[in-house]
Structure 1
């Protein structure tokens, strides 16, 4: 199956970065899938089948046609931002702002702890350090995520990775998750990369802040 993921990408004329973005994973994670070092998750399989019209039988066995219908890349094209040659992305401390809500509501007045300079990056509003292992091994505690703030849950692309603030009994819970549709009206499903974390459905009304994760930076050593 792993080699067939590469064939799909080649047939669509996508780079690894482009298909990885569509699947909501990193380029390194996609490379591991294509080389057989990692398995294709059920979530990624569903994206290939449901959004790109890949024939599930062909994906499993290699028999039949690659696609059930012409692949629709409309949503992918709409969410692919033009990259900037160079930008200074402010890095904020959540501890210093008491959470995402005050950060997003008063970001222009807050002083960043530093700035991140990465060439050819999509437009980002800011960056923060993350805590927790729900997205491990894609992200780990201490990594930096660069985000683009959203103002409406209707702007969400299902299956992408988001930075969220959720109200739990009056307290703010900040997390990074994949957002998927829920069968329950007024709810969304939050999905982790780490298989030890169960999927969780939350009321849309409890989401207090929302941002699309555009990129991540990992610190392999502090020395």
Structure 2
């Protein structure tokens, strides 16, 4: 009840917006601080300038930040450089995954319980495709020989060294998909996941 009264007091101009609440609002909604204080300028920033822990303004360094693409995997099909054709929503500076190539959301349940619908995965491009961690999750982009498929699956070794097995982690999505290794145009290991409120 106290929090509601405080909010009501601020809304009715009986109390000023405190520094701590202002920082929380700026960080959560990505509000331009200049706009919040003066009413001038861009309302919502396209790039997050605040670090989660300190809320101190930072210069956005894209070399240390990772682009977030709010796209479905089906939207990435048919592009040789699947992220090069898309515009990032913003950049994320989250130290555990700053060496990654991109963040993107998971849609659907084929990888549940490893990845739930709506979670964000951090992917890093694999430069040496001869070194694959079997049983781990990867983002796989293929050419027309595998129907231009872009999917997240667990990778397993095939008896034929020129092929690879793609498998869902959700047992409700039975059946393996076998593709030629040569049809893979991009391969990204999934280094981890975060939720949207961690962005």
> TM-score when scaled to structure 2?
0.55
Residue of structure 2 equivalent to 1:124: 100
The correspondence for 1:209, drawn from 175, 183, 186, is: 186
After superposition, residues 179-218 of structure 1 pair within 5 angstroms as 179-197=155-173, 198-218=175-195
What's the offset of the Cα at 1:110?
5.0
The correspondence for 2:117, drawn from 141, 165, 177, is: 141
Describe the SS at the equivalent of 1:120: helix
Q: Residues 211 and 106 (structure 1 numbering): CA distance in 2 closer, same or farther, change over 3 Å?
A: closer
Q: Which has the higher helix share?
A: 1
What's the offset of the Cα at 1:118?
1.8
Contact 2:153–2:166, Cα closer than 8 Å, also in 1: yes
> TM-score when scaled to structure 1?
0.50
Contact 1:91–1:127, Cα closer than 8 Å, also in 2: yes
Root mean square deviation, CA, Å = 3.1
Q: Residues 152 and 167 (structure 1 numbering): CA distance in 2 closer, same or farther, change over 3 Å?
A: same
Larger radius of gyration: 2
Q: Residues 134 and 178 (structure 1 numbering): CA distance in 2 closer, same or farther, change over 3 Å?
A: same
What's the offset of the Cα at 1:113?
0.7
* CA distance in structure 2 between the partners assigned to 1:97 and 1:90 by the alignment: 19
Q: What is the number of equivalent residue pairs in this alignment?
A: 134
1:39-85 Cα distance to aligned partner (Å, 9 max, x none): xxxxxxxxxxxxxxxxxxxxxxxxxxxxxxxxxxxxxxxxxxxxxxx
* CA distance in structure 1 between the partners assigned to 2:188 and 2:115 by the alignment: 16
1:74-132 Cα distance to aligned partner (Å, 9 max, x none): xxxxxxxxxxxx9421112446994166373663x853112223233361111112222
* CA distance in structure 1 between the partners assigned to 2:98 and 2:68 by the alignment: 16
